[in-house]
Amino acid sequence: MFRSHVLVCGGTGCTSSGSAQIIESLEKEIKKHCLDKEVCVVKTGCHGLCALGPIVIVYPEGAFYSMVSVDDVPEIVAEHLVKGRIVTRLLYQETVKEDGFTPIVDTDFYRKQHRVALRNCGVINPENIEEYIGTRGYEALGKVLKEMTPDDVIQLILDSGLRGRGGAGFPTGLKWKFASGNRGNVQKYVCCNADEGDPGAFMDRSVLEGDPHVVLEAMTIAGYAIGASQGYIYVRAEYPIAVERLNIAIGQAREYGLLGKNIFDSGFDFDIELRLGAGAFVCGEETALMTSIEGNRGEPRPRPPFPAVKGLFESPTILNNVETWANIPQIILNGPEWFASMGTEKSKGTKVFALGGKINNTGLVEIPMGTTLRTVIEEIGGGIPNGKKFKAAQTGGPSGGCIPAEHFDVEIDYDNLIAIGSMMGSGGLIVMDEDNCMVDIAKFFLEFTVDESCGKCTPCRIGTKRMWEILDKITKGKGTLEDLDKLEELAYYIKDNALCGLGQTAPNPVLSTLRYFRDEYVAHVVDKKCPAGVCKDLLSFKIDPEKCKGCTKCAKNCPVGAISGEKKEAHEIDTSKCIKCGVCYDNCKFDAIYKV
């Protein structure tokens, strides 16, 4: 038994900023002070505050240390672990109080969160099945196999109101029900979508890294509910930590008899295998994903038939998203009423979002459905850096749309977001401020879909490319007002005619920016100006002779020698040479350089 636990985040964010070395050094220092029988070091999953990593938490005090470096380790051990003195300088600033510190759960970042899918992330060691069991892991599976019929399970999920977290928001219980006929007589499959292709999203990765067993347990429950004996997790190979922990988890679950034959002596068999994806966005689409698992090139196929009827290897199949799975055991243990008590009328429970872009607390948050965008950005996310103004937030990634400032108070749920032209998506939430050009953003997302289009259907393969070309023209100041109409016409045509969700949703970022920021498009087309000062062809850099002190810094930094001037006298930019890289603008100490 240990008197103190030192938790170190082993998620991808903290790992890339050196948490593995911190663990190594902690173990060494702890040994040096002969504390290795008293203090244990636990590698956990993600705590969410990725912007402040690497994160180290010391219990029982609950001291939350942020941005820890290997050099800080000897002090943490000698001061905190040996003498019981908190190392205040390393505490997460928000927790510091005059006479000590507040628990992390009382900070702005955590206070309004509600962790269901992420409940174990950052709390347990994901590589130890017994820690998962210690937080009631596999209890739901035991309950289902011992006390419930398969139909009871489906009814319970239906009653909870859970909807898929992968993007479309389809009722999970209904999906299971469609696949539940003819149990015992046909081969069926249960799949987990861990492809997570939305740029900037890392919700699913964090669940897999922080709590892999929850996915295994939930898939086994679903296998029992629909009568399947085999599961597949389709996870992208670019998530090596997630893959490693899933492999460890599957091995341990088999060893403990929680996967395999005759689970809990109930006569029910279930096993799970991993399939690694190569990282194509389209492989997150359900039919393409199944085609890829079958060993073929990841291309979608027409629906119907729906996977519940004819899915993987032509057999009835259910596919759910990682976060959807992460909710299942909790719903079974706490009851559907508990789950349905959170959220809004038609969107129950919580949703995990990956906050990125122009926001202070870049990271992972889980909020009850119905929380306003304002709360997420201003309170939980800590607002926008450098006092800039909020312009819009993109949800749903390349399939979604933007939410402008006028809808800052929208209560986030499936239906409200659709109503304002965006969508929930899988949970990527990218914040944009006044320095972002919305035409450029639309172009960015379209570039992504052009790249990721599998090429099987013409509207998507050629249509998105044509749209991108028009956007490119506009950002170069060569667009016309007719182009805007053409853009819209193409957008609707592609939406109606593309084969799969990728093409059907690809025009959304363009349509939503046209809806809310048409004036920015018009400024590019008519005035040949980029109001945010992003599109390089439409702006030039100038030096204000009043402010310029002649320090010569800009002239020295300019990579093309476009700036000239005598020392201590106002400088000048030769616009014919300038390549608009912005180095002078970013580095002028006197704010003398401006964009026009």
Enumerate binding residues for ligand FMN (CB under 6 A): 164-168, 170, 193, 195-197, 281-282, 284-286, 319-321, 324, 426, 500-502
The span from the first CA to the last CA of the chain, in angstroms, equals 66
Tell me the three state secondary structure of residue 41: strand
Q: How far is the CB of 518 from ligand FMN (least distance, A)?
A: 27
Biggest distance spanned by C-alpha atoms of the chain: 87
The entry of another protein, ligand FMN, none near residue 117 (CB within 5 to 8 angstroms by kind) is none
The entry of another protein, ligand FMN, none near residue 281 (CB within 5 to 8 angstroms by kind) is ligand FMN
Q: Interaction with another protein in 338-397: which residues (CB under 8 A)? A: none
The CA R_g of the chain, rounded to the nearest whole Å, is: 26
Q: Which is nearer to another protein, 71 or 265 (CB)?
A: 265
Distance CA(10)–CA(407), nearest Å, equals: 36
The reply on whether position 258 binds another protein by CB under 8 A is yes
Tell me the three state secondary structure of residue 4: strand
Q: Where are the alpha helices (DSSP H) in 420-463?
A: 438-452, 458
Binding residue (CB under 8 A) for another protein from 60, 184, 267, 559:
60
Q: Which is nearer to another protein, 95 or 321 (CB)?
A: 95
Q: Which is nearer to ligand FMN, 193 or 360 (CB)?
A: 193
The entry of another protein, ligand FMN, none near residue 84 (CB within 5 to 8 angstroms by kind) is another protein
CA distances from 592 to 11, 345, 556, 578 (A): 42, 54, 16, 17
Question: Taking contact as CB under 8 A, which single stretch among the options 14-22, 60-68, 203-211, 361-369 is the one that binds another protein?
Answer: 60-68
| Pair type for strands 96-97 and 56-59 | unpaired
Tell me the three state secondary structure of residue 37: coil
Distance CA(522)–CA(479), nearest Å, equals: 9
The reply on whether position 151 binds another protein by CB under 8 A is no
The entry of ligand FMN, another protein, none near residue 500 (CB within 5 to 8 angstroms by kind) is ligand FMN
Q: How far is the CB of 117 from another protein (least distance, A)?
A: 18
* CA dihedral sign, ordered 518, 425, 374, 342: positive
The DSSP code for 596 is: -
The reply on whether position 112 binds another protein by CB under 8 A is no
Pattern 68-107, another protein, x by CB under 8 A: --------------xxxx-----------------xxx--
Binding residue (CB under 8 A) for another protein from 61, 238, 472, 488:
61
Q: How far is the CB of 92 from another protein (least distance, A)?
A: 13
Binding residue (CB under 8 A) for another protein from 27, 112, 183, 264:
264
Which single residue is written with the structure tokens 């991993």? 274
| Pair type for strands 428-433 and 390-395 | antiparallel
Distance CA(278)–CA(272), nearest Å, equals: 20
Tell me the three state secondary structure of residue 350: strand
Q: How far is the CB of 146 from ligand FMN (least distance, A)?
A: 26
Secondary structure of 93-131 in HEC code, one letter for each residue: HHHEECCEECCHHHCHHHHCCCCCCCCCCCCCCCCCHHH
The reply on whether position 134 binds another protein by CB under 8 A is yes
Q: Which is nearer to ligand FMN, 223 or 531 (CB)?
A: 223
Distance CA(513)–CA(389), nearest Å, equals: 18
What is the binding site for another protein (CB under 8 A)? Answer: 1-5, 7, 37-38, 57, 59-62, 82-85, 103-105, 123-124, 130-131, 133-136, 138-139, 142, 146, 256-258, 262, 264-265
